[in-house]
Structure 1
C-alpha cells in the first residue's frame, strides 16, 4: 500500500485503546512510526504491542503535558462513552480535545490529527441527543483549528460516518467538505489510515473534511482523498 517518505518523530495517540485508536496505532506501526499512548491503565495498553506508555487522564493537564513531551504529532481518537461524568461529551469530545490541543501546542507539537464526525454543525441531528455530542465535537474542532493554524503548526480533521470494523482499503471513499453528508458509514481502519497519511501528505494540512464509504472496491492508496481539498 501507500509508501511514505521518512517520518522523523514520535506520535502520541489519545484514545488508543478504543477501536479506532487501536487502528491508528496499527497503521503507525505499519509505517514504522514510533508511537506513544496516553492511557488510564498500562495494562490496557498491553495488546497494542511496542508502544511508549504514559498513564494518565485526559482531564488532567499535567498528565497530558507529560504525554505530549517530545512528540512531533498527536492523533486523537477520543470519544465519549457516557452521558454524564468524566466520560461525557463535554468532558471528552470538547474539553478533552481542547486540553490536548493546548498542551500539544505548548510542547512544540507540529501536527494534530483529529477524529470527529459527520453532521457536527447540525445541532438538530438525532446523534446530538447523546449529551450534545456533535456540538461538543464541533467545539473541540473549532479550538483545534484556532490553536494549530498558526506558528507553523497544522491540523487535519476527519469527519467519518458511522464507524464500522473491517480492514483498510476495502472501499472507494467519498470525500466532501462543508458538512453536507448526513449519513453513511466509514471503516475505522480507513479513518486511521487517513490520519496517519496526514503526517506527511502536504495536501492534508489544515483541512477539515467528511468521508464515507462507497462501493466495495480494493484501493491501493487513500492519498486521493486529499486531492482538491480547501483549507479550513
Structure 2
C-alpha cells in the first residue's frame, strides 16, 4: 500500500481522534484539522496539525493543499438545527469547495437512520436532513468516496466486534436497537475505505455483532452494491427527499460542486 496524505476533519472529536490513530498505524501521513494550537497539543506524535475551521472557508485552503484523501467526521450533536446546518452540511461543503475540483479520496461519516425524516430527532434538529445533504454533495463532487453511517457509538458488548455492513437504511428506531459499534471500529472502516478499490462509490450502515473483528474488510466492501452513477442518494435509500423540494441554496450548492 502506498501511504497517503490524509486530512482528518474533526480530528480531536470522539471519532476523529480514533481516525488519526488508525491512519497513523496504517502508515499514512496524517494532517489533522484543529481549531486552535491548544487542540493541536492533544494530537498523537506523528500527526501534523493545521489550524482551521470548517465554518471559515478561507482557513481551509492550506489544509487541503497536497492531500490525497480526506476523512470527514463532523458532528454537531447538541447544537440544534443551526449547528446541523453550519457544521454537518456547510462544513462538508466548504472542505469540498476548498479542493476546487482536485480529485481526492473521501470518507464521510454520517449516521444510521439518516434517511428518517419523520422521527422526533430530525423534526427537532433537522440533523438527518443536513447530514443527508452532505452525502449528496460528496456524491456530486466527482471524488471517489465511501460514506459510512454508523450505529450507536460504543454501546457494543464485550466480544461484539464483528463489523457488519448494511444498506438501505432500514433501521430507524432511533435507539441502540438500530445497531451498535465501537468508535475504534468506525475509524477502522473509514481509514480502510481510503485504500480499498471495493469501497469506491459505496454507502453503508455500520454496526457490530458477536464475534471477532475481521482481519480484512475488503470482502465486506465487495459484497455491497455501489451507488448508481450520477445519483444523489445511496442505493436502496427511500426516495423521500425530492430535489425539487429542497431549499434553493442547497440546489445551488449541488450545481456548483457538480461543475467543478
Question: Which category of TM-score, normalised to the shorter sequence, fits these structures?
Answer: 0.7 to 0.9
Aligned ranges 1:83-232 → 2 under 5 Å: 83=80, 88-104=83-99, 106=100, 108-147=102-141, 150=142, 153-164=143-154, 171-182=161-172, 183-232=178-227
- 1: CA distance between counterparts of 2:212 and 2:184? 15
- 2: CA distance between counterparts of 1:79 and 1:39? 14
CA contact (8 A) 1:69 1:107 kept: no
CA contact (8 A) 1:159 1:210 kept: yes
Report the TM-score, using the length of structure 1 for normalisation.
0.87
Aligned pair in 2 of structure 1 residues 212, 57: CA closer, same or farther (>3 Å)? same
Instruction: Name the SS of the counterpart of 1:19 in structure 2.
Output: coil
Which residue number corresponds to residue 68 of structure 1?
64
CA contact (8 A) 2:150 2:205 kept: yes
Instruction: Name the SS of the counterpart of 1:193 in structure 2.
Output: helix
Once the two structures are superposed, residues 155-185 of structure 1 have per-residue CA deviations (whole angstroms, 9 ceiling, x without a partner) of 110001111278xx96112211111123111
- 2: CA distance between counterparts of 1:22 and 1:93? 17
- Flag structure 2 segments of 5+ consecutive residues without an equivalent: 173-177, 228-260
**What do you get for the CA RMSD once the two structures are aligned?**
2.2
- Flag structure 1 segments of 5+ consecutive residues without an equivalent: none
Q: CA deviation at 1:224?
A: 3.0
Once the two structures are superposed, residues 52-91 of structure 1 have per-residue CA deviations (whole angstroms, 9 ceiling, x without a partner) of 1111211111111221111111000111031265xx1010
Aligned pair in 2 of structure 1 residues 165, 35: CA closer, same or farther (>3 Å)? farther
- 1: CA distance between counterparts of 2:197 and 2:148? 15
Report the TM-score, using the length of structure 2 for normalisation.
0.78
Q: Give the one of 47, 51, 67 matched to 1:51.
A: 47
Which ranges of 4 or more aligned residues in structure 1 deviate by more than 6 Å?
A: none
CA contact (8 A) 2:81 2:126 kept: no
Instruction: Name the SS of the counterpart of 1:158 in structure 2.
Output: strand
